[in-house]
Amino acid sequence: MGSTVAPISPEGIPAALLPAISALCSVGRSLSRQIARGPLGASLGRDVGTNTGGDGQKALDVLADTAFATALTGTGVRYFASEEREEIVELDPTGHLALAIDPLDGSSNIDVNVSIGTIFSIYEASGGAEASFLRRARDQIAAGYIIYGPQTSLIVTFGQGVRYYTLDPETQVFELAQDHLRLPEQSGEFAINASNYRHWPMPIRAYIDDCLAGEEGPHARNYNMRWIASLVAETHRILTRGGLFLYPGDARRGYTRGRLRMLYECAPIAFVIEQAGGKASDGLLAIMDQRVEDLHERMPLIFGSPAQMDRVTVYHDLPPAETSALFSERSLFRV
């Protein structure tokens, strides 16, 4: 049902981007149906290999990657860079866009019926395949994600605020639900994978220790914690009710720059968050002002409500000696 109906209402979408956005939505609604069948359909969560970055690949990672590359051909996209592919693919030599994609984000959640998504980032193609992507994140002209959850929704920015669409299950069209999404200025929630506590750098440990100290600590408030292990789901919650997300670099082998990929995850999420009134950094520098030298390069990522971001930045600004003094003082109070 619905595959012949235009997948999104076109109002407010820049004409030059409409074919690509429509293609993303078209694949999005098809994936949404396949994901919704869960155990009744093909086993989408089975392991099928390893991608170039060394991450395990699930059947749905590969299926989604192929579906997006196919659907985006002939939509103005010249260069297609995917988390699941080592090299950039030239889809159309006459295209004017460069599109980076995490076809399926949160893949550890495929089999457990928890929200997963697709993250995308669009630049003007310029100066060749690699040069089109290896530039400042602020050069993005559009970015967003599709979340496959209890509702399937598209969150997208074209640089003038954030638009929020939801897939109507009856009509199979992404309908505009809100055209200027703003995230709350502050909140009492944070999201981090706390199992890595012992590997974190001092500023992150000190900040989280102070959050855990609650009303009795220096922040003088109690916090709540969430960790879904789907960046899209975490982003969607923070856009809706505020909060802070942290995936810092840590001392594990291969994690010095965290886990998330700049081109496919950090840059597009940072663009959306900034456009919604939030902030995104690596702890010190805005993600939007950074560039990487490798397509699959990782980047520490901290983002969320501006008040919480300002606070966590202070911990990173402290000279190392002071942070560790702070930290050892706090540790006296830990059991």
Per CB under 5 A, the list member of 65, 105, 210, 250 interacting with Mg ion is 105
Nearest-angstrom CA–CA distance, 192 and 241: 17
DSSP helix/strand/coil, 191: strand
Which residue, 22 or 235, is less far from ligand FBP as judged by CB?
Answer: 235
Q: Minimum CB separation from ligand FBP for residue 197, in Å?
A: 12
Per CB under 6 A, the list member of 66, 193, 290, 324 interacting with ligand FBP is 193
Q: Which among ligand FBP, Mg ion, none contacts residue 259 (Cβ within 5 to 8 A by kind)?
A: ligand FBP
Annotated binding residue 324: no
**What is the C-alpha end-to-end distance of the chain, expressed in Å?**
58
Is residue 187 a contact partner of residue 309, using CB atoms and an 8 Å limit?
no
Annotated binding residue 310: no
Which residue, 95 or 106, is less far from ligand FBP as judged by CB?
Answer: 106
Q: Minimum CB separation from ligand FBP for residue 300, in Å?
A: 12
Distances (CA, A) of 124 to 14, 16, 20, 78, 133: 13, 11, 13, 9, 9
Per CB under 6 A, the list member of 16, 55, 177, 307 interacting with ligand FBP is 55
Nearby residues of 276 by Cβ (< 8 Å), 6 or more positions away: 157, 161, 162, 181, 182, 183, 239
Q: Which among ligand FBP, Mg ion, none contacts residue 111 (Cβ within 5 to 8 A by kind)?
A: none
By annotation, the residues acting in catalysis are 55, 61, 83-84, 102, 104-105, 265
Nearest-angstrom CA–CA distance, 21 and 6: 11
C-beta atoms surrounding 20 within 10 Å: 22
Q: Quick check: 176 binds ligand FBP (CB under 6 A)?
A: no
Residue 104 tokens, joined: 């399926």
C-beta atoms surrounding 316 within 10 Å: 21
Q: Quick check: 250 binds Mg ion (CB under 5 A)?
A: no
Nearest-angstrom CA–CA distance, 2 and 290: 40
Annotated binding residue 105: yes
Residue carrying structure tokens 């994140």: 137
Which residue, 147 or 167, is less far from ligand FBP as judged by CB?
Answer: 147
Which residue, 105 or 234, is less far from Mg ion as judged by CB?
Answer: 105
Per CB under 6 A, the list member of 78, 259, 296, 316 interacting with ligand FBP is 259
Q: Quick check: 105 binds ligand FBP (CB under 6 A)?
A: yes
Per CB under 6 A, the list member of 25, 69, 156, 231 interacting with ligand FBP is 231
Q: Quick check: 229 binds ligand FBP (CB under 6 A)?
A: yes
Q: What is the CA radius of gyration of the chain?
A: 20
Q: Which among ligand FBP, Mg ion, none contacts residue 193 (Cβ within 5 to 8 A by kind)?
A: ligand FBP
Q: What is the DSSP string of 249-274?
A: --SSTT-TT-SSBIIIIIHHHHHHHH
Which residue, 81 or 125, is less far from ligand FBP as judged by CB?
Answer: 81
Contact positions toward ligand FBP, by CB under 6 A? 55, 102, 105-108, 193, 229-231, 247, 259
Q: Which residues are annotated as a binding site for Mg(2+)?
A: 83, 102, 104-105, 265
